[in-house]
Amino acid sequence: MKRASIHTPEHAELVTLLRDLRLEAGLSQAEVAASLGRPQTYVSAIEVGQRGVDLVQVRELGAIYGVTFTDFAERLEQRLKDKISETRPPRRRRKS
């Protein structure tokens, strides 16, 4: 059975970053939704991980939050590296 990407730790980190960026921008879900021409529940569903987002939507949200797509991608990559390193045990070195 194929696993949906919204059920991955990476997706959880993505939506957490989107929420953090919204809060850093000082915006409510309702304000973001109004900018998108969508209901507030749309933004909520994204932030709680019930709705997936594609790159175009991420770029659009980033623009509302005042973050370039490049900056967004760099922040997400750093979070993923930090999170992965926290959850994975250190590798054991093989004896030669």
Angle of helix 55-65 versus helix 9-24 axis, rounded to 10: 20
Q: Which CATH architecture has domain 17-86?
A: Orthogonal Bundle (1.10)
Please give the pLDDT value at position 23.
Answer: 96
Nearest in space to 10 (alpha carbons), one of 67, 76, 89: 76
Please give the pLDDT value at position 8.
Answer: 86
Q: Between 37 and 86, name the one with better pLDDT.
A: 37
- Domain ranges in the chain? 17-86
Residues in the chain: 96
Q: Is the pLDDT of residue 87 over 90?
A: no
| Average pLDDT for the chain | 87
Q: Is the pLDDT of residue 69 over 50?
A: yes
Please give the pLDDT value at position 1.
Answer: 46
Whether pTM > 0.85 for this model: the answer is no
With vertex at residue 85, the alpha carbon angle to CA 82 and CA 90, rounded to the nearest 5 degrees, is: 160
Interacting residues of 4 by C-beta distance below 8 A, sequence separation 6+: 52
